[in-house]
A and B are shown apart, each in its own frame.
Chain A
Amino acid sequence: MYAFDYQRPDTLQAALAAAAVDDGAFLAGGMTLLPALKMRLSRRSSLVDLSGVKELKGIAVEGDRVRIGAMSRHVEVEDSPLVRKALPGLARLAGGIGDPHVRNRGTIGGSLANSDPAADYPGAVLGLGATITTNRRQIAAADFFKGMFTTALAAGELITQVSFPIPRRCAYVKFRNPASRYAMVGVMVAQFTNEVRVAVTGAGAHVFRLPDFEQALGRAFSPDSVLRLSVSSEGLNEDMHATADYRASLISVIAARAVAAALAG
């Protein structure tokens, strides 16, 4: 690693001030940032450790929404009685990220800011229609993911919390890359009283919705409704793990499994 300064401020204001230097970076769980620094893929002058900032912690249910602080670790979301009750599909998603050691450190804020095309949380954020709050504004899920590892966040902008609406039911299923455990295809299906949402992660440059799947499930919320639908492979990811065609055919299969899982509760 190249040398950097390190600070661990206690307040949001101090964290923002500390990061307002050339090449400063927020350090959340470090599960993505530290490996990048170690391989010298990235060079930062200063790391601002967010773990002491109280404003970024905590999980709460407020009316028909679940609010999760940006520094909530994956294991906290997985274990939270509130999330398990209101959004069991999200608790299970968090419990399926990486491995136990990664879940003990990695955070929802870091995962979203990083916007890995194969990450799991983006599926939930777009699939449930969550709102991302930063120190400056609120960003709707549809406006947040801009491309591979690219988001709507400006330099120095900090995610403070994510607010998820509570659906009637939802479930996330992923087809894991057996080595990395990231999603080759991951699908979140959420049924609300007035709409059904389907979001796919792992298959494209960033998470996306499937309107024809949503309409079919709106008519009949059953696995068969999506199994017979097909997805075009155009623009889908192609790499050593899977061709675009393979990913396209996985989407219908995994979406059907997600519907079945949502129905099973």
Chain B
Amino acid sequence: MSITVSLQVNGRNVSETLEPQTLLVDFLRNHLRLTGTHVGCDTSQCGACVVHVDGLAVKSCTLLAAQAHGTQVTTIEGLETEGRLHPVQEAFRSEHGLQCGFCTPGMIMSAVALLRRNPTPTEAQVREGLEGNICRCTGYHNIVKAILTASTHMPAQSAQASRS
């Protein structure tokens, strides 16, 4: 059985015929070549694969591409606007919120969703909000710092930008 899946990815309409068991992350990486979204564990634990589906952060390794039919998906590639990094991306750079960078796309997508839900989080709320994201390198400290920094730099419209 093949099915046709149509959705919007980073503002672009895409439509593909694929097998129902295709995961959203494989669709993004292998079909669309959007390789910024990573697969860390493949067992729904690490959050390296987090993307936004209709504005909500989800683990794309635990979602069928078919389930995303008719939705708007945003990946790490869709965060920048006109060549300018999203404030959360910028903060990860300035606060050194990464080492190897493997977890970073998922961390950033989670952070953007977290700040949309709660634009002025406390440190504890940031740490709680990252419970679905694992980092093997940084010890989390600079990731948390980056997100807190971003929360003070986020103009209202860039919180919106990743939705469109």
Question: Is A98 a contact partner of B20 (Cβ separation < 8 A)?
Answer: no
* Complex: A37 Cα to B114 Cα, angstroms: 29
Partner of B62, one of A3, A49, A100, A105: A105
CB distance from B62 to the nearest CB of A (A): 5
Partner of B110, one of A8, A75, A101, A102: A101
* Complex: A154 Cα to B155 Cα, angstroms: 52
Question: Is B66 a contact partner of A101 (Cβ separation < 8 A)?
Answer: no
Question: Is A99 a contact partner of B63 (Cβ separation < 8 A)?
Answer: no
Given the known interface contacts A30-B64, A39-B43, A101-B59, the answer about A4 and B131 at a Cβ–Cβ threshold of 8 Å is no
Question: Is A98 a contact partner of B67 (Cβ separation < 8 A)?
Answer: no
* Complex: A27 Cα to B20 Cα, angstroms: 13
Question: Is A34 a contact partner of B43 (Cβ separation < 8 A)?
Answer: no
Interface positions, chain A 1-49, Cβ under 8 Å from B, are: 1-6, 8, 27, 30-31, 34-35, 37-39, 47, 49
Interface positions, chain A 114-129, Cβ under 8 Å from B, are: none
Residues of A within 8 A of B113 (CB): 100
Question: Is A104 a contact partner of B57 (Cβ separation < 8 A)?
Answer: yes
Residues of B within 8 A of A31 (CB): 44, 62
Residues of A within 8 A of B1 (CB): 3, 5-6
What is the size, in residues, of chain B's interface with A at 8 Å between Cβ atoms?
Answer: 28
Residues of B within 8 A of A1 (CB): 21
* Complex: A30 Cα to B114 Cα, angstroms: 22
What is the size category of the interface that chain A forms with chain B? 20 to 34
* Complex: A133 Cα to B43 Cα, angstroms: 32
CB distance from A164 to the nearest CB of B (A): 25
Residues of A within 8 A of B110 (CB): 100-101
Q: Is B56 positioned at the interface, with any CB of A under 8 Å from its CB? A: yes
CB distance from B40 to the nearest CB of A (A): 13
Question: Is B47 a contact partner of A104 (Cβ separation < 8 A)?
Answer: no
Given the known interface contacts A34-B62, A102-B132, the answer about A49 and B21 at a Cβ–Cβ threshold of 8 Å is no
A-B contact pairs, 30 of them (CB 8 A): A3-B19, A3-B20, A6-B1, A6-B3, A6-B66, A8-B69, A30-B64, A34-B44, A34-B64, A35-B62, A38-B23, A38-B43, A47-B20, A47-B64, A51-B67, A99-B131, A99-B132, A99-B133, A100-B57, A100-B110, A100-B113, A100-B129, A101-B50, A101-B110, A101-B132, A102-B59, A105-B58, A105-B62, A105-B63, A181-B131
Interface positions of B (Cβ within 8 A of A): 1, 3, 19-21, 23, 42-44, 47, 50, 56-59, 62-64, 66-67, 69, 110, 113-114, 129, 131-133
Interface positions of A (Cβ within 8 A of B): 1-6, 8, 27, 30-31, 34-35, 37-39, 47, 49, 51, 75, 98-102, 104-105, 181
The 5 closest A-B pairs by CB, nearest first: A99-B132, A6-B20, A99-B131, A104-B56, A1-B21
